[in-house]
Each structure stands twice: as structure tokens, then as C-alpha cells.
Amino acid sequence: MIFIRALLIASLLCLAPLDATAAERLFVKAKVIAADPLSPTVKRIRFKLPKKYALRPAQFALVRVPSEFLQSWNARYGTSHKDLERPYSFASDPKRLPAAEFLVQLASPPPGKDVPPGVASTYMHGLKPGDTLEVGEAMGNLYEADSGTRPIVLVAGGTGVAPFVGLLEHWFRTKLNRRREILLFFGARERRELLLDAQFTRWAATQRNFKYVPALSNPAPDDKWTGATGFINTIVDRHFQTNINADVLMAGSPRMMQETLKVVTAKGVPAKQIHQDPIKVAP
Ligand SMILES: Cc1cc2nc3c(=O)[nH]c(=O)nc-3n(C[C@H](O)[C@H](O)[C@H](O)COP(=O)(O)OP(=O)(O)OC[C@H]3O[C@@H](n4cnc5c(N)ncnc54)[C@H](O)[C@@H]3O)c2cc1C
């Protein structure tokens, strides 16, 4: 009995440092190169990863918020956060490694609620060139959708467009659009939130078989918007008169994804042709 207990303690002592090392290995240190505003609430964070970081197009990774930031956050807002990690999608083609990008929306308090803003997004919006960012291993398999032959329909809301920026860049580079049609439906509230609109418009003009359908749900009066108006799921619904024969990839708020899922399912897209990242990722 004593022997078994001793063996157990010994094995635990051996395992503890091994586990810690394994957990530490999951995160790497990246160096922030630039942090540029793309809209009043979204920043593009460009950073440099270590040389051997493994990344496929449209993957995401956990970002770890440093404990010093959490301590001052807890002191300021009376919260008790520790070990906080949040997923963010890579908005860049892996071909650009070691450079990579995230598009980060600052999570504001819900209207009428006296609560703190989002912790991780506030931290990310405070990053400056030269800062260190802790990034976990890349996860997700949206890129697998490029193995078929059907047209591809991308549906994005807000920063949900992030994985598709890198994916499109990758697809155009590898000439996937020579053999498959690609349609990007991108929804925002008003024009200034239509991230990277100029880049998508340019791609639509220069890349074969690529169509871009931007839509605003609540255009501002001075937007002078003449494009599609409404939530992006309704735009997808109106666009296709008949059944959709395509692979569908979607990314955005849980609500937007639920509504889009209803539309594409009603238009005959089988579940195996619908691709999305998990809505929640456990750290
Ligand atoms: C696979 C995946 C990929 C993602 N990719 C991206 C991406 O590319 N870009 C991006 O911007 N986001 C992305 N996200 C979302 C991201 O992971 C975070 O969820 C987001 O940034 C908010 O995190 P936060 O820590 O800033 O907010 P949190 O601190 O979690 O707060 C969330 C909201 O709750 C409010 N809140 C705070 N306290 C309370 C309270 N007591 N009661 C009620 N409300 C409260 C906050 O004001 C805020 O609005 C992704 C998510 C997933 C699952």
C-alpha cells in the first residue's frame, strides 16, 4: 500500500513539470508589428510569430491576456479574472508567415448595462508595436472546404470576415477561383463598419469568378448607400431564387450564424456542406 502511494506521488511529481511544460509549449510569443484602426471599433493587429509556427488558412488561436493586465482590470472593475484566453481568427494567408494578422472588435458594454467592456478585446486594442502577444496553437478546419468542386459561398458579419480575408488571399494565390466560383456576402451595420470594403471590391474587379455582395443593416444617412440593405441572412435568402448548390462557410455573431444556417438549410444545403468554427472555444 505504502509502495503504491509512493509510486503515485512519484509519478505525480514527474508528471507535474511535464504537464506544465506541455501547456507552456502550446503558447508562443509573438511581437506586435502594427496596430491600425480599420473602423471606430476594430483594429488590425499585425504581429510576427516564431519561425516554426504551424498555420493553415482561416484558422484561429487563443490569445492569452497577461496576468498584470488582469490584475489592474480586476482592481479597476472589481472583477476576479485569472488565466483569461480568447480565440481570434487569423486574417492573413499563412504564406505571409512569420507575419500574421488579427482583426479585433472592441466589445463594448451592452446598451443600458453598467458593466465593464470586454477584457481581451480591450487588452488587444491597447497593444502597440514592440509589445509581446501570447498566441496558442492554430486550430480550426475551415480551409478543408477547398477540396471540393462546387461553388463556395462565404457569409460573414463584422469581424467574422477575418478568417475569409486570409482564406481568399490563399485561394487567389493558389488559383482555386479558376475552377470554383466564390461569393462573399458581408454584412455590417453602417458603411464605416464594412471592414476592408475597398480590398474586397478590388478583388471582385480583378479576380476571376469572385463576387462580393456587401450589405448594410442600418446605413447612416451620409453613407449614401445604394447597395443591398438588410441583415446578411436576408440578403443571402433574396440572392438565391432556387436551391443553393455550394459549400457554405459562415462566421460572425452566434445570432447571425443561426439565422444564416436556417436560410441555407431551407435552400437545400446539406449539413456536411456547411462549415463554421465553434461558437465557443474552451481555453
Ligand atoms: C472561433 C472564434 C473566432 C473568433 N475570432 C474573432 C476575431 O477574429 N475577431 C474578434 O474581434 N473576435 C473574435 N472572436 C470573439 C472573441 O473570442 C471574444 O469573444 C471577443 O473579443 C470578446 O471578448 P472580450 O474578452 O473582449 O469580452 P468579454 O470580457 O468576454 O465580454 C463580452 C461582453 O460582455 C459584456 N460584459 C462584461 N461584464 C458583463 C456583465 N457582468 N454582465 C453582462 N455583460 C457583461 C462586455 O461589455 C462585452 O460586451 C472569436 C470567437 C470565436 C469562438
Mean pLDDT of 265-276: 96
> Which atom from ligand 1 is nearest to the alpha carbon of 104?
11
Return contacts of 261-265, CB within 8 angstroms, 24+ apart: 262/233, 263/233, 263/234, 263/236, 263/237, 264/153, 264/155, 264/236
The finding on whether 23 has its CB within 6 A of some atom of ligand 1 is no
* Residue nearest atom 13 in ligand 1 by C-alpha distance: 88
Residues 32 and 129 sit within 8 Å (Cβ to Cβ): yes
The finding on whether 116 has its CB within 6 A of some atom of ligand 1 is yes
Second CATH level (architecture) for the domain 142-274: 3-Layer(aba) Sandwich (3.40)
Is the pTM for the entire model greater than 0.85?
A: yes
pLDDT digits (tens, 9 = 90+) for 39-50: 999 999 999 999
Annotated domain spans of the chain: 28-135, 142-274
Query: Length of the chain, please?
Result: 283
The finding on whether 73 has its CB within 6 A of some atom of ligand 1 is no
Residue type at position 151: P
Using the predicted structure, report yes or no on whether residue 180 has a pLDDT greater than 90. yes
The finding on whether 101 has its CB within 6 A of some atom of ligand 1 is no
The finding on whether 138 has its CB within 6 A of some atom of ligand 1 is no
For domain 28-135, the question of CATH label 1.20.1600.10 is answered with: no
pLDDT digits (tens, 9 = 90+) for 211-264: 999 999 999 999 999 999 999 999 999 999 999 999 999 999 999 999 999 999
